[in-house]
Amino acid sequence: MAEGEFALVRQYSEIALARTGGWGGEHDVYAMQVDAAAQQCDLAALQQYAPLAEELAERYDHKLYQAIAHRAQGVAHRLAGKTVDAEVRLKQALALFETLDTRWQIGRTLFELGELALANTENESAREYFSHALTAFEALGALPDAARTREKLSAL
């Protein structure tokens, strides 16, 4: 998804939620909401939607959405300055994504762990996380993610 499209994801998924009236696919929409909010580092949206996404992912035992919710909670904690909680959630997400072998999601989570390490001024850890994320993105041909990760590495 192109970077400019993330803003539209929230707008259209909010419309979808309003129209569903509680249909069984809410967990899909909330997962999309928190994923876009995490990409945008939108703390307010993360605080609003992550608990709902997590609750529904747990209810349906949807491992992918559970991992997405963990990552979203991790980003929210990082943005709120709760670095210990952020690390716990991001590592939970990473473990689930690794179990599912979702390589792009693994790369995105490694990138978020790099952001967390940067926030803690742990530059060597950040470099390691970003390097692993870059390897994952390049293997997939995820060019925008690879470019963004290269920028982070060159800034270190």
Nearest to 91 by CA among 123, 62, 113: 113
- DSSP class of residue 21 equals S
| CA terminus-to-terminus distance, the chain | 26
More confident residue, 153 or 32: 153
- The tens digit of pLDDT for each residue in 120-148 reads 999 999 999 999 999 999 999 999 999 99
What is the reported pTM?
A: 0.85
Q: What is the 3-state secondary structure of 68-89?
A: HHHHHHHHHHHHCCCHHHHHHH
One-letter amino acid of 59: R
- The tens digit of pLDDT for each residue in 1-46 reads 444 554 555 555 555 555 555 545 677 888 999 999 999 999 999 9
Residue 2, pLDDT score: 43
**Whether the Cβ atoms of residue 53 and residue 65 lie closer than 8 Å to each other:** yes
